[in-house]
Amino acid sequence: SRYGRSGFWGSLFRHARPGPPCTFHPVRMVPQPTFAPLPEKPSFPQEEEATLKYWKDIDAFQESLRQSKGKEPFNFYDGPPFATGLPHYGHILAGTVKDVVCRHAHQRGYHVERRFGWDCHGVPVEGIIDKKLNIQGRQDVLKMGIDKYNEECRSIVQMYTNEWRQIVERFGRWIDFDNDYKTMDLTFMESIWWCFKELFDKGLVYRAFRVMAYSTALATPLSNFEVAQNYKEVSDPSIIVQFKRKDKENAHVLAWTTTPWTLPSNLALCVHPELKYLKLKKKWDGGEWIVGKDRFDWVCSCIKKDPKKDFEVLEEVPGESLVGITYEPLFPYFKETVDQSKVWRLVSDKYVTTAAGTCIVHQAPAFGEDDYRVCVKYGIIAKDGTGMLQPIDEGGCYTKEVWDFKGQHVKEADANIKQMLKTEGKLVFNGTEVHNYPHCWRSETPLIYRAIPAWFVKVEETRDKLIANNNETYWVPSFVKERRFHNWLVEARDWCIARSRYWGTPIPLWVSDDFEEVVCIGSVAELEKYAGRKITDLHRHFIDDITIPSKKGKGVLKRIDEVFDCWFESGSMPYSSKHYPFENKEDFENSFPAHFIAEGLDQTRGWFYTLMVLSTHIFNKPAFKNLICFGLVLAADGKKMSKRLMNYPDPTEMCNIYGADAVRLYMCNSPVVRAEPLKFKEEGVKDIVKDVFLPWYNVYRFLVEQTTRYEAEHGKFVPDPNRIKKSSNLMDKWINAAMHSLIKFVRDEMDAYRLYTVVGRLTRLLEDLRNWYVRLNRDRMKGANGKDEALTALCTLYEVMLNLVVLLAPLTPFITELLYQNLSKALPDGHAMKAKSVHFVMVPEYDEGALDPDIQRAVERMQGLVELGRLAREQRKVTSKMPLKGMTVINKDPAYIKDIKTLQEYVSEEVNVMQVSYKDGSDGDGVSVTLTPTLNFRALGQKLGKDMKAVKAAVEKLSQEDLAAFERDSKITICGHEITTEEMTLSRGVSELKDQHLHAISDNDNMLVLDFTPDEELFRIYLSREVVNRVQKTRKEAKLRPDDLVDMWAAPVTNGKKGATSKLSEVLSKKKAFIEEKLRNRLFSESLRQGHELVVKQEVFDIDDENLQVTITAKSPFFNDAEMKKLTSGDATADFCCRNYVNTFDIGKLTERCKAGGIEVVCEGKTYKMENKKHFALGAAEASWLS
């Protein structure tokens, strides 16, 4: 043991000397805590990824289904999306809403089957193949072969299914991808056939020649609800043309149109039989025009002519008198092919209006519904279309009959047609008109109207049944059902279910050439009887060759060319997804209609509608009971989200930065779940993390830290809800009442599918928990009021946090799982709320007895008073950290005063006043209350009439005695009128105070007077709290936990010299006990440090223009200099050896060594026995000689 300072001990000494702050892992002399320690700043996205792995490891979703099997089913239909593109925010919103409701239903004790579905047919798929193979039209498909074309479609149907699954699961949605359904599956398609045959057998299917909206891009007609989905504002031609009369020279009839491309197909002109028409003479050339009287001024304004100066009115006649006038066609294309005795003449019909044009409408029956009807009525064409001129192909291009424009698309030919008319002197006016025009919802191209034969499902005759079934359903929000959807059903039209396409479910109709014999097939087995072979696929190229022998001697029946509208497929989803009625018959019939569906507002004319039509026709009941309809998700600027413009943040990136929970909660707490649009902003997602998740996490982290501290001092933490019931602390009862009120609210509102009310209440409780309960009980949970009170407060906070986690689990599945996995460690095995996952835990029952309105009222009053006190400080620009002498609460209501007195401790702490006194405003103690009246003019308007001005003037002159009487009696007579408390209210305020240090403030419920008189002792308390704050800040920056074994030191620093006289020196001395009470730890003077301590963190802070140095060191031996001197008889070398030998032990090992006996050190032949608590202590805090 003979080592000089240059040897081992010298080396040790040098290494032990104070140095810069270092990374330090303190020794903890405590039992294993219940809860795992937490990082100060979590990465929510990383935690979510870990949660996803955990769910996968325990097979969480399937396990939840196994646990709920046998329980009452909650049936949910998921509308199938296309997998030919990646999910966007609309899909994520839909998935989130569905996931929230289904998770909650599971937690309410239901068995919730959730199967994902894929829409595999239709134009989105064909469009990709057309682009890939440069398919220009029907002929290209037929040349290639429908079989090859359809197999190309099949090959890309599930192009993005893996990406869909990754994104859907990343956003926390639990749904079965492995047991999904696809609309191209044989089983799905067979059930579609069954649905259709049900309609066919009921006489609800027919074929008709109709003018329908037609997509030239898709070469197929569209149903009326598809047309309604996509109107756009466009600028179209607005022209007036003159048709030359055959019966009179230099005479013309004026007609107006916005579709010049239909003029080559003109067959008639239509007037209104009862409107007045003018026969006009043009003064500039002597020619004659016929035009509607009501539109004459408009025509003049278009051609810049004066109605009186430029025209002479020859005659005014009714429209009926013009019927029969013949005219020359504008174009010569069909002069040789039509029966001229029937065409190119004036007819009449009351559909003609005075709203636009010339009151004379050109008739092209192939391209207008009214045109078709009128021309059939006058025998110009036959009902089956005979005599109709339709010189365009399936792609909307002119055929050879119109040789001047052959091959031109009709919309592109408008300009050339107008030019020809102008050249030939037939164009009177050439303008434009901006109006809303329907576009193809798939190709975004303008639609045209075209007469074609098509297959329809009857809807118009069942409108009353549809409306009745709609009335049996429950929608959120209700206005979508009651107005938008109801109005659509009132005007419902027969549904064109046929599409002239290839990749889809073939319509199972086999017909004779004249369509007089029709056979409908409703199953694969039925078709196999005619086919004579096994049918493994129902797509066109597998069945189009099958024929059925005619029973009427018409040869063989062949399948019609068309496939089903894809909306028919999605509308049959409830039956087809279960292969009903061929399989799962009992299961389906017991579960129909569904408890719940959800989609966007656009589906009111899409999926919601087709579900309702088919279920009404087949079962005479709605397909669903409850429906959530949400709005559209738009870009931040309110425009439609565009991949091309990239005007929205990538969903995956939002997950990686903020986490899926943040996106979910942001959307669920937005107007979009009330069927209003959401302008998606990244800032909104960021705010959810900042304003909800981080504060929530911090409360959770505080609970874990304080529970760990409690366990270090008092043993195992065992949560006990009964402690809350027995607690006399009003804040415990208040937050418990708020929690049970929330449980009841969430159960009721979620059962009513009102997501938009739930999130606000959940986050409000989080705010109450953080800003009021934890804030006001922080010291109590730290043990300031003793072990028992600390345990009660911790049990209260734990109970609220645990229930909150369960309630919020459907909305934010990741963060709740994160918190639950740690919180549940405190629950004993077998506890109802203990499970492998929070999502296996049922929603708790609420305690009716805990819902105490008196407690709620008292705390609300306390909160209002505290907020008013804070406002008074802001008005005086005095920090909330500065204690005030006192405040006076003024209120004449004894119940109010009682409530505040019950919570006075919290009021004093939050307003930071030393004393609270109470007055009723009438005791004359320097405070008087002033009453101020306010008239309710809206309520008094009709009652007072012309006396209003006089009453207002009289009210302004009322004395305080008059107002006090009004307050007492709740009525007063003014100018002969009795005024009640509903018509006039009183506000209370404090009259001017004489003492400049007093500050009065009031609102409708509270009145306060705060005393801002300066006081030296209060200032010392202020500085003491600042010292406490800086020490705690240093601990936080050092990432210390309450049970870390450290010592803390502080000293003022003035001009770089420690220990100089200062206000801080005085505070550290005089308020030492106060500071240590707040810290719940000893704080030593920096001058007491002995030099061997390991510095963990050292900071210098500015406090009121002075500097304070705070040092935190690892807990290490603290030596008693006097006893060490006695032990070594003043031998410096022996003293040095003894101290440094003790310092070679870490604090844990030293503690064990001390329990075993003293420590002996041999130095230069002498033995020195050192005793704990005499020669040294295990840290400065245990050094009794410092007391």
Question: pLDDT digit string (tens) for 159-189?
Answer: 888 888 899 999 999 999 998 899 999 999 9
Residue of 603, 706, 863, 1098 with catalytic role: 603
d(CA 564, CA 193): 10
Q: Which pLDDT belongs to residue 469?
A: 95
Q: 80, 87, 593, 810: which one is catalytic?
A: 80
Listed in order, strand segments (DSSP E) in 458-564 are: 474-476, 495-496, 498-499, 509-511, 518-520, 547-549, 556-559, 563-564
pLDDT for position 620: 94
Name the pLDDT band for 474 (thresholds 50, 70, 90): very high
Active site residue 607: yes
Nearest to 36 by CA among 24, 56, 50, 23: 50
Give the list of residues 6+ apart from residue 440 with CB closer than 8 angstroms, or none.
Answer: 215, 217, 218, 222, 230, 446, 447
Q: Is the pLDDT of residue 192 over 60?
A: yes
Q: Whose CA is closest to 487, among 603, 568, 605? A: 605
In terms of Cβ atoms closer than 10 Å to its own Cβ (0-12, 13-18, 19+), residue 887 is buried
Average pLDDT (728-734) is 89
Q: Is 643 a catalytic residue?
A: yes
Which among 529, 551, 643, 787 is annotated as catalytic? 643
Q: For residue 681, give the nearest of 644, 631, 646, 634 by alpha carbon.
A: 634
Confidence band, pLDDT 50/70/90 cuts, at residue 562:
very high
Range with the lowest mean pLDDT among 109-113, 114-118, 889-893?
Answer: 889-893
Q: Measured between alpha carbons, how far is residue 320 from residues 253, 341, 370, 716 in Å?
A: 15, 19, 18, 99
CA dist., res. 1116 & res. 1093, Å (int) = 6
Whether the model pTM is above 0.85: no
Single out the catalytic residue among 78, 99, 119, 494.
119
User: Quick check: 149 and 72 in contact, CB under 8 A?
Assistant: no
Read off the pLDDT of each residue in 771-779 and give the average, rounded to a whole number.
Answer: 89
pLDDT at 5: 33
> pLDDT-based confidence at 17, cuts 50/70/90?
very low
pLDDT at site 598 = 93
The terminus-to-terminus CA distance of the chain in angstroms comes to: 34
Q: Is the pLDDT of residue 77 over 50?
A: yes
640 is catalytic: yes
Beta-carbon count within 10 A of 561 CB: 15
- Structure confidence at residue 853 (pLDDT): 86
pLDDT bracket for residue 632 (50, 70, 90): confident
Q: Active site residue: 55, 193, 607, 696, which one?
A: 607
Catalytic residue flag (residue 80): yes
Model pLDDT, residue 987:
77
Q: How confident is the model at residue 40 (pLDDT cuts 50, 70, 90)?
A: confident
Check the CA dihedral 882-883-887-889 and report its sign: positive
Residue 390 is predicted with a pLDDT of 87
Q: Which of 46-50, 143-147, 218-222, 555-559 has the lowest mean pLDDT?
A: 218-222
* pLDDT band at residue 704 under the 50/70/90 scheme: very high
Distances 662 to 254, 657, 686, 805 between C-alpha atoms, Å: 63, 10, 8, 15
Query: What are the tens digits of pLDDT across the range 1015-1054?
Result: 999 999 999 999 999 999 999 899 887 778 899 999 998 7
Res 1057: pLDDT: 53
Per this entry, what is the length of the chain?
1187
Residue 94 near residue 630, CB atoms below 8 Å = yes
pLDDT of res. 162? 87
Pairing between β-strand 498-499 and β-strand 251-257 as defined by DSSP bridges = unpaired
- Residue 639 clears pLDDT 60, i.e. is over it: yes
What pLDDT band is residue 378 in, cutting at 50, 70 and 90?
A: very high
Rg for the chain, CA atoms, rounded: 43
In this prediction, residue 922 carries a pLDDT of: 66
C-alpha pair distances (Å), 40 with each of 688, 1044, 1110? 18, 15, 21
* Structure tokens given for 272: 């209104």
The answer on pLDDT for 844 being more than 60 is yes
* Element housing 298 (H / E): helix 296-303
Mean pLDDT, rounded, of the chain: 88
Residue 383 in this model has a pLDDT that exceeds 50: yes
Nearest to 274 by CA among 211, 320, 312: 320
| Catalytic site residue from 640, 787, 1126, 1166 | 640
> Average pLDDT for residues 449-467, to the nearest whole number?
91
d(CA 188, CA 185) in angstroms, rounded, equals 5
The distance of Cα 288 from the centroid of its chain, to the nearest Å, equals 65
Which residue from 459, 480, 460, 492 is spatially nearest to 603, judged by alpha carbons?
480
Note if 567 is an active site residue: yes
What are the residues facing 461 on neighbouring strands?
none
Cα–Cα distance between 512 and 552 in angstroms, integer?
A: 9
Sign of CA dihedral 58, 64, 65, 69: positive
Q: Provide the 10 A C-beta neighbour count for residue 197.
A: 18
Q: How confident is the model at residue 736 (pLDDT cuts 50, 70, 90)?
A: very high
Predicted pLDDT of residue 9:
35
Asked if pLDDT for residue 926 goes beyond 90, the answer is no
Q: Which two tokens stand for residue 388?
A: 């109709």
Helix (H, G, I), strand (E, B) or coil at 755: helix
Confidence tier at 49 by pLDDT (50, 70, 90)? very high
Residue 4 has pLDDT above 80, yes or no: no
Facing residues of 633 across strands?
A: 678
- The residue annotated as part of the active site, out of 55, 174, 567, 1049, is 567
* Confidence (pLDDT) at 233: 82
